[in-house]
Copies of this chain bind each other. A is one copy, B any other.
Amino acid sequence: MNEKWFFDDLAVGQRFKSASATLDESAIKRFAGEFDPQPFHLDDEAAKSTLFGGLAASGWHTAALTMRLLVDSMPLAGGIIGAGNEIAWPRPTRPGDILTVVSEVIEVTPSTSRPDRGHVVVRSKTNNQRGDVVQVMTSKLIVPRRTG
């Protein structure tokens, strides 16, 4: 599928993989300085005595970078518009980690009130370069119908 994807193109079980992105130490500290200024995201030494045991990216940074990878790999007609998300961070993201997102369609539901759109639930797992899952996100997306 090279063109934009409409609701009608999506089916449960479809999977798609993103490109990769590296999260380096300076980006981790810059994001944290602006949005999540806590010692374990800002200072290598201070991070050692915390639950993380060393510098880790803000979960919101992992989420934002995951979004970037999704935008580039999931060309939904109308864009990626989320109505809601569940998000979990089973492991921290570390400096130098290379992230890749594998997504799977797990629900497709035509809207009963709006014939021009449907709801699609996508589960996106963000993996590091060792294949460890650093984020699991389940997103409810609004997707236009081709015949809308």
A residues with a Cβ closer than 8 A to B are 31, 34-40, 50-51, 58-60, 63-65, 67-68, 71, 78-89, 142
Contact = CB atoms under 8 A, between A and B. Distances in A.
A57 to B, nearest CB: 12
B36 A51 contact: no
A120 to B, nearest CB: 14
Given A50-B79, A78-B50, A78-B51, A35 B68 contact: yes
A12 to B, nearest CB: 22
Protomer copies: 2
Dominant SS at the A interface?
mixed
Contacts of A67: 35-36, 58, 60
List 3 tightest A-B contacts by C-beta distance, closest first: A35-B64, A84-B88, A38-B79
A136 to B, nearest CB: 9
A89 B82 contact: yes
B35 A81 contact: no
Contacts of A88: 83-85
A87 B89 contact: no
Given A36-B67, A38-B71, A60-B64, A51 B81 contact: yes
A19 to B, nearest CB: 14
Contacts of A65: 35
